[in-house]
Amino acid sequence: MTPKDILTYCQSNFKDVVLVESWGEQGIFYNPNGVLKRGVYVLTVKEKDGDNDKGSMLNRDNVYRVNVGLRKQTFIKKFGYIPERPSAGNIVKMDYDFTALDTIIPHPVYAWMGWACVLNPSDRTFEDFKGMIQESYEFAKEKFSKRKK
């Protein structure tokens, strides 16, 4: 899998999404008819470390991370609990190797918000991750409907 494969999958399988590039990452946003300035996050692909996000060591050659936002109850079912928000520049306190490739894990910084991720997913892991992408899409639609009221 490549970042392009993942972004193309989202654009081909989810209605009313747009691709936005910003802050050194590419994101899929739910935004029917461009109602909101950006839309609501569904998925991001990050290919390099940022000032406040170095926990996955994305500056390694050809390493990228795919990130999705889950409902908190889904996150808890998968990972056991919601961690506390880390201080700026730090990672959440959870017993995971946030640099591990091809493993679905909590997001090193945004797990406290219910975000999960996978670094360099294989085709098989991506198949498992598709359910999380679907949930993130459905959750984004819910958030979108609340924002436009």
User: For the residues 117-138, what does the mean pLDDT come to?
Assistant: 98
Q: What is the mean pLDDT of the chain?
A: 95
Which residues does residue 28 pair with via DSSP β-bridges, in sequence order?
19, 43
Is it the case that residue 70 has pLDDT exceeding 70?
yes
Please tell me the total count of domains within the chain.
1
Q: Domain range for residue 81?
A: 3-147
Contact 126, 1 (CB under 8 A): yes
pLDDT in tens, 81-116: 999 999 988 999 999 999 999 999 999 999 999 999
Is it the case that residue 149 has pLDDT exceeding 70?
no
Residue 147: predicted pLDDT: 81
Is it the case that residue 51 has pLDDT exceeding 90?
no
CA distance 142 to 36: 14
> Closest Cα partner for 29 from 147, 141, 106?
141
pTM of the model: 0.95
Say how many C-beta atoms besides its own lie within 10 A of residue 57's C-beta.
Answer: 13
Is it the case that residue 123 has pLDDT exceeding 60?
yes
User: For the residues 45-53, what does the mean pLDDT come to?
Assistant: 93
In the chain, % of residues over pLDDT 70: 99
Q: What is the CATH number of the domain that holds 96?
A: 3.90.1150.30
Residues 6+ apart with CB under 8 A from 121: 1, 6, 66, 102, 129
